Structure 1
């Protein structure tokens, strides 16, 4: 690792300075450390509190397509390595997609045929053996390559591992200006060989023109933590027919458009709120359930109870359970844009990187090495 000493009056100096300590920023720090570079991370909060801790903790690798599938495949290997090295909790139970209609099962059958062993079709009985579900299930699919982490622990464990490897974190430190060879912060200047700006949907705070050209905005999600009504260990993540409308690997199937048309006709309100009916189980047994999707540049601070009600009602129906006991509620916000990834060069030696499709936990650790290959070249 290169030794860097800041000049007089500077806060720090490193081969790579990362702005943002969410999963995208940390992914770049991880790859830089593995290359032997010195790294400094600037984060405006005292710890990561954004989208990287407000998600399902679902490594949804298999359902991706195109570049996202390539990044996800690489990220899976990186997650497994970090689980061993950083001591973070990781479950390799895969994902079960529950089909409650014949056209949902048809999409899964096409997906399974196209993915050569990455998706195993299940009948209704096999679905019920793997995950708790209510009546009306016609079948499903198991995606064995997917994993789960605890989002409330994972990013903090990675940050701790990086700190032990010599990465210097400047917490509660705002980045005021980004320059080709430095980041000017609220605590002083951090000199940089290269800079990665990974601030999610807040790109406009540093590069407003870039954010506007990219069509970047926020996507707000309603999510909840509930007590498991069945008291059962659930190793896989669980997706539903609504999920088949949201992941590119499924929407690329020939029967995908017909499924969407039927869902929009049968459930216009639920499709309208962007419901991705799914859940994962935390290590303590509680379920993370959700989620809805709304898009804006700036969100009102008021959280509509109706959206939570819909999520709770539909999850209870999926589980075949009565009213669910809510432990916590929150709203996550991630970056969204027409393109699934934003990688831009606003000035020499600087890259702005944002996963603009809600799959940062799934892809960031595979995206970062390709960004650094280009940046360091």
Structure 2
């Protein structure tokens, strides 16, 4: 075993974490001609970057997140071609199952010139098999889909081909100005980016506390498609409107929240974002509930999965669904949407803290490097 004191590598930038945020920083650095090493404790990315919907939810963002998402969209399109992974430019269908939800979409379309196409009920059903309660919807054509089980690993391979040195199964033990001490030895670097998502507190606990960092746990499932048809778009619902910042300025959103509070308060208690995407093989990724804590209990409550299954079955107009897999995702959560901090000279902590890492990372990372390198 290599001692901690041995020199493992020397580069311009070392990135700790090979999830999508870490890879985005490595990609942005390579584009600037820097030499890069990536240190990852597991033998491949297994966290939030692969436990998600693979949904680039561009249009649903607002403010800085929208700016990052639009920039990231260009990188995803380029990377899909150069790294050779599956990507669909099929947008997102937002299904409205109540008149107040459709009013939100109409208001949203008025605010986003050309980014929202309203659909009647027939237009929704042309794209998605749903139950009888659909009143209309909208298409968000800028949104993207990738297969998260493939895309993150494909990006890592592509970066390795471009000269990024990956040290998998290697834990970062200490981060200091000018170097990272790992379980395999020291990596010297003029600049360091810590991109470990919700695990910032493992390295800088006071910093994490000061920024209000918590862990958001999600219940998600993979189910057989009961209709056996291709669903090219991601699919969102009225509950999704309550979770994405882009809809927050729509006056009718208050009506949606008040109605759901009266009719189904349990769904709001669970933080349910009722949505699904289709994997390339045809199965659906469905979810997802949200709960917040600095440290979560290890027990996965069955009633949360039952709630997700029942609500998706109702959305699809079927009595039951066949479950293939279940899992719990965990991502960083904080009051600010993007955590950027400088705990030491030449070191940046970078974390997407709203569950939109796949959507924004490739726009977020260049901004972090502008600050770090500038």
Bin the TM-score by the shorter chain. over 0.9
Are positions 1:56 and 2:61 aligned together? Answer: no
Q: SS where residue 195 of structure 1 aligns?
A: strand
Are positions 1:25 and 2:12 aligned together? Answer: no
In structure 2, what is the equivalent of residue 120 of structure 1? 117
Deviations 1:86-132 (A, max 9, x none): 01110111000000001101110000010001000000010000111
Structure-to-structure mapping, 1:239-278, within 5 angstroms: 239-278=236-275
Deviations 1:65-86 (A, max 9, x none): 0000000000000000000000
> Across the two proteins, how many residue pairs are aligned to each other?
370
Distance 1:346 1:245 in 2: 34
Distance 1:275 1:338 in 2: 19
Distance 2:43 2:61 in 1: 33
Alpha-carbon offset, residue 266 of structure 1: 1.4
Distance 2:319 2:74 in 1: 39
Deviations 1:29-78 (A, max 9, x none): 00111111000000000100000000000000000000000000000000
Distance 1:177 1:324 in 2: 47
In structure 1, what is the equivalent of residue 42 of structure 2? 45
Deviations 1:193-220 (A, max 9, x none): 1000000000000000000000001000
Q: Which of 68, 72, 75 is equivalent to 2:72?
A: 75
Q: SS where residue 360 of structure 2 aligns?
A: helix
Are positions 1:111 and 2:108 aligned together? Answer: yes
Structure-to-structure mapping, 1:198-217, within 5 angstroms: 198-217=195-214
Q: Which of 316, 321, 327 is equivalent to 1:319?
A: 316
In structure 1, what is the equivalent of residue 97 of structure 2? 100
* RMSD, aligned α-carbons: 0.8
Distance 2:117 2:68 in 1: 22
Q: Which of 162, 167, 171 is equivalent to 2:159?
A: 162
Are positions 1:134 and 2:123 aligned together? Answer: no
Deviations 1:8-30 (A, max 9, x none): 93001110100000000000000
Distance 1:211 1:107 in 2: 36
Are positions 1:187 and 2:184 aligned together? Answer: yes
In structure 2, what is the equivalent of residue 366 of structure 1? 363
| Structure 1: stretches of 5+ with no match in the other structure | 1-7
Distance 2:108 2:174 in 1: 46
Distance 1:336 1:34 in 2: 29
Are positions 1:146 and 2:148 aligned together? Answer: no
Distance 1:320 1:259 in 2: 21
In structure 2, what is the equivalent of residue 281 of structure 1? 278
Q: SS where residue 194 of structure 1 aligns?
A: strand
Deviations 1:246-273 (A, max 9, x none): 0000122122222212211211001110
Q: SS where residue 166 of structure 1 aligns?
A: coil
Distance 1:9 1:238 in 2: 51
In structure 2, what is the equivalent of residue 220 of structure 1? 217
Alpha-carbon offset, residue 374 of structure 1: 1.1
Q: SS where residue 49 of structure 2 aligns?
A: helix
In structure 2, what is the equivalent of residue 307 of structure 1? 304
| Structure 2: stretches of 5+ with no match in the other structure | none
In structure 1, what is the equivalent of residue 333 of structure 2? 336
Q: SS where residue 279 of structure 1 aligns?
A: strand
